[in-house]
Amino acid sequence: MPGASAEFRVGVGSVPYLADHGFQDMVVLPGSFYIEMALSMERELSKRVAGLVRNVRFHNPIILSPEDTVLKVEARDRGDGRVEYSFYESAAEDGNTRANDRRYAAQLEIERNRSTPARAQTGEFSIEAFQAQAHAVIDSEQFYERLRESGNQYGPRFQNVCSIWRAGDQSLGKLWWRASTGRAGGIACTRACWIR
C-alpha cells in the first residue's frame, strides 16, 4: 500500500453524544475518535488487527457543529512496517493547498509488524495490592472538577471515570459504562481498566 485516503463526516447532528465533549464552550472532536478511525481503516487496508499505535500527536482541534464536518484521512506506508495516518478538515484545504501546508488535526503511526508487548511475567496483577500501594486516589468528582478548571467540559456521556489510583508512574482506573440490558438507567461501576 503506497498510500490510501478516505473521507468521512461527523457532527453533533449525526453523532449526538459528541455534544458532551466540550472545551471552553466549544464541542471538540475527541482524540480517541482519530485513533478509532485509524484502527478501523487499518483493519480494512491490511485485513488484520492492527499492531501497535505510536506517536499520537494532536495539532489543531476540530470544532463540531450540528452540521457535519468533512474530515479527510491519509494513510502513508513509511516502508519500515509503519503506516502514518494524518487527519485534517476538508474545508481547511483549497485547490492551492499543498500536502506540506495542511493544518493537520491529528497524526499517528501504526506498526504493522509488532503486536502489543506482553506484560512481564511477574505474577498475577492484583487490583487490591495496587490500590493499597497507591500514593493518590482521585474520585470522579475531583477528576472532572480538575478538568473543568482547565477548560474541559465533559457532559454525562463523557464522564466514565469512577476513580483513579496512582502509584509511581502507573495508574489504575475504574470506569463506568452503560449496561446493555435494554433497561433504562442500567449503569454499573464494576469494570477496572489498567492504564500506563
Pick the closest to residue 113 from 28, 165, 49 (CA basis).
49
Q: Is residue 144 included in any domain, yes or no?
A: yes
In angstroms, what CA-CA distances link 7 with 4, 56, 63, 172, 177?
A: 11, 20, 17, 36, 30
Examine the domain organization and report whether 103 and 175 are in the same domain. no
- Residue 23's pLDDT is 86
Q: Is residue 119 part of a domain?
A: no
Residue at 38 is within a domain: yes
Domain span holding position 39: 3-111
Q: Does one domain contain both 54 and 21?
A: yes
Convert the pLDDT of each residue in 63-84 to its tens digit. 998 899 999 999 999 888 889 9
Does 122 fall in a domain? no
Domain boundary residue, one of 111, 144, 176: 111
CA distance 87 to 139: 34
Tens digits of residue pLDDT in 115-152:
545 544 456 778 888 999 999 999 999 999 998 898 88
Provide the 10 A C-beta neighbour count for residue 9. 13
Task: Reply yes or no on whether the pLDDT at 191 is more than 50.
Answer: no
pLDDT of residue 189: 44
Least confident segment among 48-62, 85-99, 133-147, 154-168: 85-99
> How many domains are there within the chain?
2
Q: Which helix (H) or strand (E) segment is 6 a member of? A: strand 3-10
